[in-house]
């Protein structure tokens, strides 16, 4: 099957880091590969928690063997402590993927919601319901972090190919412009 991609979605968090892998291609039904969370105790120190997140993500990368990793882009929140932990967990996921040479894409929550539900302002229940429907599951993945990770992976399967083609086209255009400038000098 042409362009089948296996994508690991990561909904970063220190207490619960959602992980979900799907396989498919744009325009075709998607398949669930795996879904779950890496949990860390809130009373552990930050170093131990980040190591636990890394260990969990590395295990998932070994088992799932994705072609790409999609991570939720961290955005400003009112609670600075929460956003810092989320950003740190996201960085761990990016480093784990980069260490293996896997492409990493960052998707905003509203981008993921729009891709999955058609509305960038959908709530968690709507996203979970659509993930359940799209993957033809018997029940909504729990906790919500797991469903969100699947939504990230689905979004990337659907949008990642187009984004990659656009990035390649922009790179070619930039190279052509540079070559023209050098030839004209």
Contact 40, 53 (CB under 8 A): yes
Encoding tokens for residue 2? 């042409």
- Cα angle, residue 136 at apex, residues 131 and 141 outer, rounded to 5°: 45
Q: Nearest to residue 12, comparing CAs of 44, 61, 56, 59?
A: 56
The catalytically annotated residue of 11, 23, 54, 148 is 11
Is-catalytic flag, 62? no
The catalytically annotated residue of 58, 145, 148, 168 is 145
How many secondary structure helices (H) and strands (E) does the chain include? 5, 5
Read off φ and ψ for residue 116, nearest 5 degrees: -85, -40
Is-catalytic flag, 123? no
The catalytically annotated residue of 23, 54, 72, 148 is 72
Is-catalytic flag, 72? yes
Encoding tokens for residue 95? 């480093």
Encoding tokens for residue 36? 């779950």
List active site positions: 11, 72, 145
């Amino acid at each position: 099957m042409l362009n089948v991609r296996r994508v690991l979605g990561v909904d970063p968090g220190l207490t619960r880091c959602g992980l979900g892998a799907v396989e498919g291609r744009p325009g075709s039904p998607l398949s669930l590969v795996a879904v779950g969370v890496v949990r860390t105790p809130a009373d552990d120190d930050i170093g131990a928690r980040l190591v636990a997140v890394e260990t969990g993500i590395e295990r998932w990368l070994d088992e799932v063997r994705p072609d790409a990793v999609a991570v939720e882009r961290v955005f400003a929140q009112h609670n600075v402590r929460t956003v810092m932990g989320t950003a740190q967990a996201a960085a761990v996921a990016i480093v784990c993927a980069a260490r293996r040479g896997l492409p990493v894409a960052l998707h905003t929550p509203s981008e993921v919601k729009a891709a999955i539900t058609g509305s960038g302002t959908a709530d968690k229940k709507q996203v979970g319901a659509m993930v359940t429907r799209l993957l033809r599951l018997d029940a909504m993945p729990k906790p919500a972090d797991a469903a969100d990770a699947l939504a990230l992976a689905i979004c990337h399967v659907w949008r990642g190919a187009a984004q990659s083609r656009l990035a390649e086209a922009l790179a070619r255009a930039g190279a052509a412009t540079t070559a023209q400038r050098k030839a004209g000098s």
